[in-house]
Amino acid sequence: MFSLLKTILGQGIELMSGFFSGNLPVIFYYWCLVLLFIVIFQVIREKKIGIEKSSYLNRFVLEFLLFFLFWTMGIVLSEFIKDIISNGVTSPQKYTFTYIGLIPTTSIYLSAPLLLSLRNCRFKEDTFRMIAFITGFLTAFIQFKAIDKYILHMEKLSLSYLITLSVVTGITALLIRLAYKISFEKDV
């Protein structure tokens, strides 16, 4: 347990120092800028609907910290799954896991507006949970296939590796959905 926390903390510090020093490839900064706009849209929308009661500043600081936490956890998780699945990633380069770690984070932020839009539909709770899982899974899987084809030219990601990471991302989207539901019910 302690070694896991040490790994996460070390990876988080390394990621943030690389990010703020400008050492990462330019595509990461564009990618993060797009995610920033998605977060801004999501926070404003949640505030208008009445889901979010805290101030904009508090919410943006929280989302900023969650973004780096999700990204760090994505990197650690992708490296962990690579060790479990043989030939999951062949010949990884310097930023391979940084790219792969950003995919679950992006999926979570892309699926949130969709799930918020479907919130008012008259789905049963079990159906809505399945939709949350499928949304997280599909957005992650599509992004993994795209990154494998267009960005990671030297590396090759195995299908079992992609599916495993996509399932974990789907489960994460489901858990975040459940956390939002519990938080919303406490406020109401």
Instruction: List, for residues 118-137, the tens digit of each pLDDT value.
Output: 766 777 777 877 888 888 88
For residue range 4-31, list pLDDT tens digits in order.
778 888 888 888 888 888 888 888 899 8
Where do the domains of the chain lie? 2-187
| Ordered DSSP codes for the chain | -HHHHHHHHHHHHHHHHHHHHT-S-HHHHHHHHHHHHHHHHHHHHHHHHT---S-HHHHHHHHHHHHHHHHHHHHHHHHHHHHHSTTSEES--TTHHHHHHHHHHHHHHHHHHHHHHHTTS---HHHHHHHHHHHHHHHHHHHHHHHHHHT-SS-EE-HHHHHHHHHHHHHHHHHHHHHHHHHHHHH-
3-class state of residue 188 by DSSP: coil
As a whole number, mean pLDDT of residues 40-56 equals: 78
Q: What is the pLDDT of residue 47?
A: 78
Q: Which residue has the higher pLDDT, 50 or 106?
A: 106
Give percent of the chain above pLDDT 90: 1
As a whole number, mean pLDDT of residues 43-71 equals: 81
Question: Sorting pLDDT into bands at 50, 70 and 90, what band is 187?
Answer: low
What is the rounded average pLDDT for all residues in the chain? 80
CA distance 92 to 100: 11
Q: What is the pLDDT of residue 188?
A: 47
Q: What is the pLDDT of residue 114?
A: 77
